[in-house]
Amino acid sequence: MLQTSVKPQSSAGSATHDGLGHYCGLAAAFAPDGLDIARTLFYMLFAQQHRGQESCGIAWEEGGLLRSDRRLGMVANAASDWQADATRSRVGIGHVRYATHGGGGLANAQPLAVDCNKGRIALAHNGNLSNGVALRAELFDGGSIFQTTSDSELILHRISRSTAVGIEAILRDALSGVEGAYSLCLIWNGALVAVRDPMGFRPLHLARHGDAWLVASETCALHALGPMDWREAEPGECIVVDDDGVRSFFLEPAPRRSRCIFESIYFARPDSYVFGRSVHGARMALGAAMALDDELRPDVVVPVPDSGTLAALGYAQASGAPFAFGLTRNHYVGRSFILPSKGERDLAVRMKLHAVREVVSGKKVVIVDDSLVRGTTSGIIVRLLREAGASEVHLRLSSPELKWPCYYGIDIPTREELISNRLDPAGIAAYTGADSVRFLGVARLRAALDAPESEYCCACFDGHYPCPVYQGS
Ligand code: SF4
């Protein structure tokens, strides 16, 4: 039996970046003797709030029922009662969602929970299927009825329609022909199942915590519950946790791996490990790589908080220039200031970021951010620094020029909106008012993170899509 509850609430998300969004974060737990499921998932999702602020949800088994609770808004605001919820369950999964692909609203909030011919199944998905449009059309033409516009529902349909027998055979069958990015957590007739797509686009981790097994997109969600041993799920690995313990099998291998390099550049939390390496260390390495190629000798290196902080620190250490917080950030700015009309954008950025005169006045300033999207915020930041007395302002980006859309789970503005498709670095300097602008090249990026083309996706920078993309995906 299936019981669901949905609770609308005004969204109170707070974007921290000029136009990029992540699609989702996952959390899951299994304990043979049961655990406080809502409470456990609350803390794991709270730690991954940066991966999606539009909606949050949990699903769990209770007394033979599969139950779910999905809400609009951020975990701390929309679901604070989960902290005090004493519901005991052996298995649960959770999800935070950033809604652009497939649209927002409660209907698309996850986990999705269904009764089907394979039993009671709940599913939470991080990623985007690059052939989702074609798969949906095929199912629709075959008579399937959809309740959401998200491509995650396609996976449930394919599981239900499979004629194979047993979790392993059904998953192999259902996921063959599914292309793109999918890290999944499922409750499947009382078992916890975690799946990472064969190309390994999105991170997924497994940990042991006392008697419980935990799964999360990022390790920060695991460590929110205390210290524990963890490991990364391998690309293509399907992990089943049930009363018999933990076992793995693998989907058909892909010809290459395609870990999303943007997880290390911007999306993941700095204290997390993704793809087997520290995000903190990765961002420091990117900053250092930028400094190696830069003949500039700045008086001070200033980060754009918080996204540029670690790259600026790496740049400062490698260049020998002092690091200082020449911009402070107001952490109380809510969503009302995030998407203002064009005329109000300047004011909105001024409400959020403030230049520190004492740090930048009379100085040749290098300002560091992780990436450049539309360029509008950067222009205002340059102006703020000049108003505070900076004699020169040089903009440095710890990633290459962002030029291409992502079909694998990151929301990137259209090609026309991306400033690097309209202007070269000299043009961007003129547009933003900076004295110079430099990006980290793709080759330097790959070298700094030891991320060869056979292992990592850089398609939004170089247009080399690791698996086919289709119009409308
Ligand atoms: S296109 Fe960019 S954002 Fe998308 S998966 Fe590849 S590296 Fe990540």
- CATH code (residue 33): 3.60.20.10
Question: Are 298 and 340 found together in one domain?
Answer: yes
Ligand 1 neighbour 460 (Cβ under 6 A) = yes
Inside any domain, residue 187: yes
pLDDT for position 106: 87
Nearest atom in ligand 1 to the alpha carbon of residue 407 is: 4
Domain finish residue from 254, 287, 319: 254
280-290 pLDDT, tens digit each:
999 999 999 99
Tally of structural domains, the chain: 2
Does any ligand 1 atom lie closer than 6 A to the CB of residue 260? yes
For 463, left (φ over 0), alpha (ψ -120 to 50), or beta?
left
Considering the domain architecture, whether residues 233 and 316 belong to the same structural domain is answered as no
**Does residue 284 lie within any of the structural domains?**
yes
Q: At residue 421, does pLDDT exceed 80?
A: yes
Predicted confidence (pLDDT) at residue 129 exceeds the cutoff of 90 = yes
Q: What is the CATH number of the domain that holds 306?
A: 3.40.50.2020
Neighbours of 416 (CB within 10 A): 7
Q: Are residues 243 and 280 in the same domain?
A: no
When pLDDT is averaged across residues 206-223 and rounded to a whole number, the result is 97
Within this chain, do residues 382 and 439 fall inside the same structural domain, yes or no?
yes
Of 440 and 352, which is predicted with more confidence? 440
198 and 328 share one domain: no
Task: Give the model confidence (pLDDT) of 83-106 as tens digits.
Answer: 999 999 999 999 999 865 556 688
CA distance linking residue 27 with residue 48, whole number of Å: 9
Residue nearest to atom 4 of ligand 1 (CA): 406
Question: Residue 347 domain-assigned?
Answer: yes
Is 185 designated active site?
no
Residues 344, 398 within the same domain: yes
pLDDT of 15 strictly over 50: no
pLDDT of residue 288: 98
266 lines ligand 1 (CB under 6 A): no
Q: What is the pTM of this model?
A: 0.93
What domain range is 215 assigned to? 2-254
- Residue 240 shares a structural domain with residue 288: no
Q: Is the same domain home to 350 and 231?
A: no
Protein residue with its CA nearest to atom 2 in ligand 1: 460
The model's confidence at residue 18, banded by pLDDT at 50, 70 and 90, is: low
Asked whether 95 and 45 are in contact (CB, 8 A), the reply is yes
Is 268 among the domain residues? no
Residues 192 and 309 in one domain: no
Distance 52 CA to ligand 1 centre (A): 17
Residue 337 is predicted with a pLDDT of 45
Selecting among 24, 220, 238, 467, the annotated active-site residue is: 24
Q: Is residue 473 situated within a structural domain?
A: no
Nearest CA to ligand 1 atom 8: 260
Do 287 and 220 lie in a common domain?
no
Tell which one of 262, 445, 473 to mutate to probe ligand 1, the residue whose CB is within 8 A of the most ligand atoms.
262
**For residue 85, which of 121, 60, 120 has the smallest C-alpha distance?**
60
Asked if the structure places residue 467 within a domain, the reply is no
Q: Which uninterrupted H or E stretch holds 348?
A: helix 345-352
Which of the four pLDDT bands, split at 50, 70 and 90, describes residue 10? very low
Report pLDDT digits (tens) over 293-320.
899 999 999 999 999 999 999 999 999 9
